[in-house]
Amino acid sequence: MTVHHDGPEDGPDADHRRPADLSDETVEALGSLSKALETTERARGHLYSFHQLTGSADFELDRAVELLRAAGHDDWADRVQREILGRNVIPGHWTFQIVEEYNATYYRPFAELEAGARRELADGKDHLYEAELKECRRTTGHPDHTACPRH
């Protein structure tokens, strides 16, 4: 998908132009690696949602216990407090520990590897595949298809 442009004003800014010796295959490979990392970012966001939703549910149990006691159901209040409130979500883990393990074991190493590949193979440039895709799809000269943001 090599993109050719007529001059410095036509096409992506310098941060989004591929180095001269970078092949189409490498640009595509880096784009795929970046897409995989972006998907991991989304998964990580869902993990944080899981963490926050589980924490919110656990705090709502305080209210449930209080209401059960006020309604005269001390046995049920005791049972909720003893069996569910503050319970591990998997053996030995609260959700924050799952998030920490995910970040340390998978997310950070993946992000560091992707950044290293970009540094070594593409002079650190990000989103080259997408920048070239934009060039292939935009209408040159159309005011809503400009190559770069207006400053």
28 inside domain: yes
Q: Count of domains in the chain?
A: 1
Write down the residue that tokens 């005791």 correspond to.
78
Rounded CA separation 86/109 (Å):
31
Asked whether residue 129 is assigned to any structural domain, the reply reads: yes
Full residue range of the structural domain in which residue 105 is found: 22-137
Q: Output the tens digit of pLDDT for each of the chain's 151 residues.
A: 655 454 456 788 888 888 889 999 999 999 999 999 999 999 999 999 999 999 999 999 999 999 999 999 999 999 999 999 999 999 999 999 999 999 999 999 999 999 999 999 999 999 989 988 888 899 888 988 888 887 6
Whether residue 115 is contained in a domain is answered as yes
Q: ∠ CA(127), CA(42), CA(52), 5° rounding?
A: 145
